[in-house]
Amino acid sequence: MAIRNIREIGDPVLNKKCKEVTEVSERTLELIDDMFDTMYEADGVGLAAPQVGILKRIVTIDVTGEDPILLINPVILESSGEQRGNEGCLSVPGKTGIVTRPNYVKVQAYNENMEPFELEGTELLARAICHELEHLDGHLYVEKVEGELMNIADLEQEE
Residues that bind Ni ion (CB under 5 A): 89
Is residue 158 part of the annotated active site? The answer reads: no
Nearer to Ni ion, 89 or 109 (CB): 89
DSSP 17: P
User: Residue 66 CB: number of other CB atoms within 10 A?
Assistant: 6
State in angstroms the smallest separation of the CB of 34 from Ni ion.
17
Question: How many residues make up the chain in this entry?
Answer: 159
Nearer to Ni ion, 89 or 99 (CB): 89
Q: Which of 132, 134, 148, 159 is catalytic?
A: 132
Position with the least CB separation from Ni ion: 89
Distance (Å) of CA 60 to CA 52, 66, 156: 12, 13, 27
| Pick from 105, 96, 97, 40: nearest CA to 66 | 40
How much helix, strand and coil, in percent to the nearest 5, is found in the chain?
Answer: 30, 35, 35
Nearer to Ni ion, 25 or 86 (CB): 86
**Please, what's the b/e burial string for 70-99 (b: 16 or more CB within 10 A of its CB; e: otherwise)?**
bbbbbeeeebeeebeeebbbbbbeebbbbb
Nearer to Ni ion, 3 or 114 (CB): 3
State in angstroms the smallest separation of the CB of 109 from Ni ion.
17
State in angstroms the smallest separation of the CB of 51 from Ni ion.
6
State in angstroms the smallest separation of the CB of 25 from Ni ion.
25
> In angstroms, rounded to a whole number, what is the distance separating the alpha carbons of residues 158 and 17?
38
Instruction: Write out the catalytic residue numbers.
Output: 132
